[in-house]
């Protein structure tokens, strides 16, 4: 059975292409899903790509990953919760899976509040500033970490 990588996207990422294209580019959320699927196929893994604007739903998905053992790694763009959510960082530790943090923009070249991430200390790798190609790199790295 193919390993499955859970790809999680936080708030406002459903608005990609419409939302600040000068910062996030003109690709849509559907393009993110397609990039993850392309990279997954190339790396020999399946991907389950999700987006939510509800922090509780995101945390429930992570708890389900811990209970179900359905997934081998987590790729996450926590979006605004990156900079605010101890609860999300706490949840990401529970499944004991490799976590790859992705940001479309280079958060380090932006406002000071974006330069702290609660997620980075629990991530195996962080990819920022590569546009939506960063999701492909993250899926590729996750596949490598699980030995695919």
Q: Which among 51, 49, 60, 112 has a CA at the least distance from the CA of 78?
A: 51
User: Is 134 within 8 Å of 105 (Cβ atoms)?
Assistant: no
77 is in an annotated binding site: yes
Instruction: Tell me, residue by residue from 114 to 143, as one string, x for binding to ligand DQA by CB under 6 A and - for no binding.
Output: x-----------------------------
79 within 8 A of 11, measured Cβ to Cβ: yes
24 is catalytic: yes
The greatest distance separating any two alpha carbons of the chain, rounded to the nearest whole angstrom, comes to 44
* Among 103, 108, 116, 135, the one annotated catalytic: 103
Regarding beta strands 46-51 and 125-128, do their DSSP bridges make them parallel or antiparallel, or are they unpaired? unpaired
The answer to the question of residue 75 lying near ligand DQA (CB under 6 A) is no
- Which stretch, 29-37, 38-46, 50-58, 78-86, contacts ligand DQA (CB under 6 A)? 78-86
Q: Which residues bind ligand DQA (CB under 6 A)?
A: 12, 77, 79-80, 82, 103-105, 107, 114
Binding residues for substrate: 77, 83, 90, 104-105, 114
């Amino acid at each position: 059975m193919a390993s499955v990588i859970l790809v999680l996207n936080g708030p406002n990422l459903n608005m990609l292409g419409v939302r600040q294209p000068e910062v996030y580019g003109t690709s849509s959320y559907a393009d993110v899903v397609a990039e993850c699927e392309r990279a997954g196929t190339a790396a020999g893994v399946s991907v389950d790509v999700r987006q939510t604007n509800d922090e509780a739903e995101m945390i429930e998905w992570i708890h389900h990953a811990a209970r179900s053992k359905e997934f081998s790694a987590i790729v996450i763009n926590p979006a605004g919760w990156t900079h605010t959510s101890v609860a999300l960082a706490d949840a990401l530790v529970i499944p004991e899976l490799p976590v790859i943090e992705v940001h479309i923009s280079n958060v380090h070249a932006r406002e000071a509040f974006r330069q702290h991430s609660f997620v980075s200390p629990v991530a195996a790798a962080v990819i920022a500033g590569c546009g939506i190609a960063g999701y492909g790199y993250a899926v590729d790295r996750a596949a490598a970490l699980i030995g695919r």
